[in-house]
């Protein structure tokens, strides 16, 4: 079955750039999606189709996808960005989530 | 705007069937662009996609759960349902329903989620 692997944790200082990777076989041939989940809340999509931001998502969130790796970048990270982040892709009509990354802003 | 609400028992005994329903309100349910999904998350762990259905009844399931899962739809009630058979403690999780499709213009993202419902498997 298809798998997406993320680093368990990323730490970043306020105002700095956080990068979260998502690795999967030929992931660049698929669309990558990214979700932010804060404690006790449902996930929210922050990037769709590799690099597009839904309405209401701040410009500091950006994404890319090439080869075997998709990357979510948070520029000028704010304390409110502290959360778990999950990548997601579709593999032959099957949904697959990444293992998740906890972003700590300190 | 579209809202999703999960409902069902919070406690299920081992070996029994876990039944959940998701009710859709505030928008179109029958758009051919949408699929309706179930996703779960054990405490302290990541998200796991369970499966999806469209309003024509076409389904796709997670291969690891396929033998135990049935997802169905009732368009007259604007609901879709999950049945997970032969549950064990490993099925204890928060269960979310979510919309996927292009109604919002976000491709095949899970763009709208329910609040989630906690289901515990225990005797």
| Chain A partners within 8 Å of B114 (Cβ) | 42
Q: Is B117 on the interface with A (CB under 8 A)?
A: no
Mean pLDDT for chain A overall: 97
Return the residue in A9, A44, A94, A95 with the most chain B beta carbons within 10 A, the one to mutate for interface testing: A95
Average pLDDT by stretches of 10, chain B with 123 residues: 96 98 91 91 97 95 97 96 98 97 86 98 97
Question: How crowded is the C-beta side of B48, counted as CA atoms within 13 Å?
Answer: 19
pLDDT at A76 over 80: yes
pLDDT at residue A62, as a whole number: 98
Query: B99 in helix, strand or coil?
Result: strand
* Per-residue pLDDT reduced to its tens digit, A80-96: 999 999 999 999 899 99
**What was the pLDDT predicted at B104?**
82
Average pLDDT over residues A33-61: 97
Where in B26-101 does DSSP place strands (E)? 34-41, 48-53, 59-61, 69-74, 79-84, 93-101
Q: CB under 8 Å to A92, separation ≥6 — which residues?
A: none
Which of these, A33, A41, A49, A22, lies nearest to A80 by C-alpha position? A41
**Rounded-to-10 torsion of CA B4, B91, B94, B120:** 110
Say yes or no: A96 contacts chain B, CB-CB below 8 A: yes
Predicted local confidence at residue B31, as pLDDT: 81
The backbone region for B103, taken as left when phi is positive above 0, alpha when psi lies in -120 to 50, beta otherwise, is alpha
Contact B68, B85 (CB under 8 A): yes
Nearest to B48 among A90, A93, A97 (CB): A97
Sorting pLDDT into bands at 50, 70 and 90, what band is A35? Answer: very high
Over range A7-30, report the average pLDDT.
98
């Amino acid at each position: 079955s298809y798998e997406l692997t993320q680093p368990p944790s990323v730490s970043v200082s306020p105002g700095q750039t956080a990068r979260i990777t998502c690795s999967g076989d030929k992931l660049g041939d698929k669309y990558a999606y990214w979700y932010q989940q804060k404690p006790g809340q449902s996930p929210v999509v922050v990037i769709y189709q590799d690099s597009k931001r839904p309405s209401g998502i701040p410009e500091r969130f950006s994404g890319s996808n090439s080869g075997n790796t998709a990357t979510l970048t948070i520029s000028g990270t704010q304390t409110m960005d502290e959360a778990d982040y999950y990548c997601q892709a579709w593999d032959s009509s099957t949904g697959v989530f990444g293992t998740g990354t906890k972003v700590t802003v300190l | 705007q579209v809202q999703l609400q999960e409902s069902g028992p919070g406690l299920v005994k081992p070996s029994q069937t876990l039944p959940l329903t998701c009710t859709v309100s505030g928008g179109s349910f029958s758009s051919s662009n949408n699929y309706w999904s179930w996703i779960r998350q054990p405490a302290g762990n990541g998200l796991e996609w369970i499966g999806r259905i469209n309003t024509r009844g076409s389904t796709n399931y997670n291969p690891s759960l396929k033998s135990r899962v049935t997802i169905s739809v009732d368009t007259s009630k604007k609901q879709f349902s999950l049945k997970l058979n032969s549950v064990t403690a490993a099925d204890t999780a928060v269960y979310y329903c979510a919309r996927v499709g292009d109604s919002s213009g976000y491709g095949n993202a899970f763009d709208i989620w329910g609040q989630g419902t906690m289901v515990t498997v225990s005797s």
